Protein backbone atom coordinates (compact mmCIF):
# COMPACT_ATOMS: atom_id res chain seq x y z
CA UNK A 1 0.00 0.00 0.00
CA UNK A 2 1.10 3.50 -0.71
CA UNK A 3 0.37 5.78 2.25
CA UNK A 4 0.84 8.87 0.10
CA UNK A 5 -1.73 8.11 -2.63
CA UNK A 6 -4.21 10.85 -3.44
CA UNK A 7 -6.70 8.48 -5.07
CA UNK A 8 -8.19 5.31 -3.61
CA UNK A 9 -6.53 2.06 -4.69
CA UNK A 10 -8.65 -1.04 -5.33
CA UNK A 11 -12.34 -1.74 -5.73
CA UNK A 12 -15.03 0.17 -3.85
CA UNK A 13 -16.44 -2.61 -1.68
CA UNK A 14 -18.40 -0.90 1.14
CA UNK A 15 -19.99 2.55 1.51
CA UNK A 16 -21.71 3.56 4.72
CA UNK A 17 -22.76 6.69 6.60
CA UNK A 18 -21.09 7.58 9.91
CA UNK A 19 -23.82 8.17 12.49
CA UNK A 20 -23.91 9.78 15.98
CA UNK A 21 -24.25 6.38 17.72
CA UNK A 22 -20.76 5.49 16.43
CA UNK A 23 -18.91 8.38 18.16
CA UNK A 24 -16.48 8.55 21.05
CA UNK A 25 -16.54 11.22 23.79
CA UNK A 26 -14.74 13.68 21.48
CA UNK A 27 -17.44 13.39 18.83
CA UNK A 28 -15.23 11.49 16.37
CA UNK A 29 -16.22 8.10 14.99
CA UNK A 30 -14.72 5.17 16.94
CA UNK A 31 -11.67 3.63 15.27
CA UNK A 32 -13.17 0.23 16.04
CA UNK A 33 -16.24 1.09 13.95
CA UNK A 34 -13.98 2.01 11.02
CA UNK A 35 -12.00 -1.22 11.50
CA UNK A 36 -15.26 -3.21 11.53
CA UNK A 37 -16.29 -1.69 8.18
CA UNK A 38 -12.86 -2.57 6.78
CA UNK A 39 -13.18 -6.15 8.07
CA UNK A 40 -16.58 -6.47 6.38
CA UNK A 41 -15.18 -5.16 3.09
CA UNK A 42 -12.19 -7.49 3.33
CA UNK A 43 -14.54 -10.39 4.04
CA UNK A 44 -16.56 -9.58 0.91
CA UNK A 45 -13.40 -9.46 -1.21
CA UNK A 46 -12.09 -12.62 0.45
CA UNK A 47 -15.30 -14.61 -0.15
CA UNK A 48 -15.27 -13.57 -3.81
CA UNK A 49 -11.63 -14.61 -4.26
CA UNK A 50 -11.83 -17.81 -2.19
CA UNK A 51 -15.22 -18.77 -3.65
CA UNK A 52 -16.50 -19.60 -0.19
CA UNK A 53 -16.22 -18.90 3.53
CA UNK A 54 -13.27 -16.99 4.99
CA UNK A 55 -12.24 -15.85 8.46
CA UNK A 56 -10.07 -12.93 9.53
CA UNK A 57 -6.84 -14.09 11.20
CA UNK A 58 -4.67 -10.96 11.32
CA UNK A 59 -4.53 -7.22 10.74
CA UNK A 60 -1.16 -5.67 9.89
CA UNK A 61 -0.01 -2.08 9.73
CA UNK A 62 -3.22 -0.27 10.64
CA UNK A 63 -2.56 3.42 10.98
CA UNK A 64 -5.27 6.00 11.61
CA UNK A 65 -4.45 9.06 9.52
CA UNK A 66 -7.46 11.35 9.96
CA UNK A 67 -10.69 11.22 12.01
CA UNK A 68 -14.08 10.29 10.59
CA UNK A 69 -16.93 12.56 11.64
CA UNK A 70 -20.70 12.22 11.87
CA UNK A 71 -22.22 12.67 8.43
CA UNK A 72 -19.12 11.54 6.53
CA UNK A 73 -19.60 8.68 4.07
CA UNK A 74 -16.96 6.01 4.72
CA UNK A 75 -15.81 4.37 1.47
CA UNK A 76 -13.75 1.19 1.83
CA UNK A 77 -11.59 -0.06 -1.05
CA UNK A 78 -10.05 -3.53 -1.31
CA UNK A 79 -7.32 -5.21 -3.36
CA UNK A 80 -6.39 -8.87 -3.10
CA UNK A 81 -2.65 -9.01 -2.62
CA UNK A 82 -0.71 -12.20 -1.95
CA UNK A 83 -2.63 -15.47 -2.18
CA UNK A 84 -1.15 -18.51 -0.46
CA UNK A 85 -2.41 -22.07 -0.25
CA UNK A 86 -5.21 -21.37 2.28
CA UNK A 87 -4.75 -17.67 3.06
CA UNK A 88 -4.80 -14.34 1.32
CA UNK A 89 -3.69 -10.83 2.20
CA UNK A 90 -6.18 -8.12 1.31
CA UNK A 91 -5.02 -4.53 1.21
CA UNK A 92 -7.74 -2.22 2.49
CA UNK A 93 -8.07 1.57 2.43
CA UNK A 94 -10.81 3.62 4.09
CA UNK A 95 -11.62 7.07 2.73
CA UNK A 96 -14.10 9.61 4.11
CA UNK A 97 -16.26 11.64 1.74
CA UNK A 98 -16.70 14.70 3.93
CA UNK A 99 -20.17 15.88 4.90
CA UNK A 100 -21.11 19.17 3.21
CA UNK A 101 -17.74 19.84 1.54
CA UNK A 102 -17.72 16.56 -0.45
CA UNK A 103 -13.93 16.57 -0.08
CA UNK A 104 -12.27 13.18 0.29
CA UNK A 105 -9.55 12.10 2.74
CA UNK A 106 -7.84 8.77 3.34
CA UNK A 107 -8.52 7.97 6.99
CA UNK A 108 -6.76 4.61 7.43
CA UNK A 109 -5.25 1.62 5.68
CA UNK A 110 -4.19 -1.88 6.67
CA UNK A 111 -3.53 -5.36 5.35
CA UNK A 112 -5.98 -7.99 6.57
CA UNK A 113 -5.19 -11.70 6.35
CA UNK A 114 -8.06 -14.08 5.69
CA UNK A 115 -8.07 -17.90 5.65
CA UNK A 116 -10.47 -19.88 3.47
CA UNK A 117 -12.41 -22.43 5.52
CA UNK A 118 -14.68 -25.38 4.81
CA UNK A 119 -18.09 -26.09 6.37
CA UNK A 120 -16.43 -27.51 9.49
CA UNK A 121 -14.27 -24.40 9.95
CA UNK A 122 -11.03 -26.06 8.83
CA UNK A 123 -8.62 -24.31 6.45
CA UNK A 124 -9.13 -25.27 2.80
CA UNK A 125 -7.17 -24.39 -0.34
CA UNK A 126 -7.93 -21.12 -2.11
CA UNK A 127 -8.90 -22.08 -5.67
CA UNK A 128 -7.22 -20.51 -8.70
CA UNK A 129 -8.52 -17.05 -9.62
CA UNK A 130 -11.59 -16.90 -11.83
CA UNK A 131 -11.15 -15.15 -15.18
CA UNK A 132 -12.14 -11.47 -15.18
CA UNK A 133 -15.62 -10.61 -16.39
CA UNK A 134 -15.82 -8.82 -19.74
- CA-wise closest residue to 34 among 73, 91, 8: 73
Domains assigned to the chain = 11-116 (3.10.129.10)
Instruction: Give the pLDDT mean for 117-128.
Output: 96
Q: Under DSSP, is residue 74 helix (H, G, I), strand (E, B) or coil?
A: strand
Task: Return d(Cα 25, Cα 105) in angstroms, integer.
Answer: 22
Residue among 5, 95, 78 at smallest CA distance from 44: 78
Provide the β-strand partners of residue 114: 56, 88
Query: Across residues 70-74, what is the average pLDDT?
Result: 96
For residue 60, what pLDDT is reported?
Answer: 96
Residue 127 backbone phi and psi in degrees, to 5: -70, 165
> For residue 123, what are the β-bridge partners?
117
Bridge partners of 91? 79, 111
Residue range 7-40, pLDDT digits in tens: 999 999 999 999 999 999 888 999 999 999 999 9
Amino acid sequence: MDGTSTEPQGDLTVRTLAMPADTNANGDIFGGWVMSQMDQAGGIAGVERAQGRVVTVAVDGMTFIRPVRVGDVLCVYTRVGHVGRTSMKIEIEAWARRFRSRGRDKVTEATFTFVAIDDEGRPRPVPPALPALP
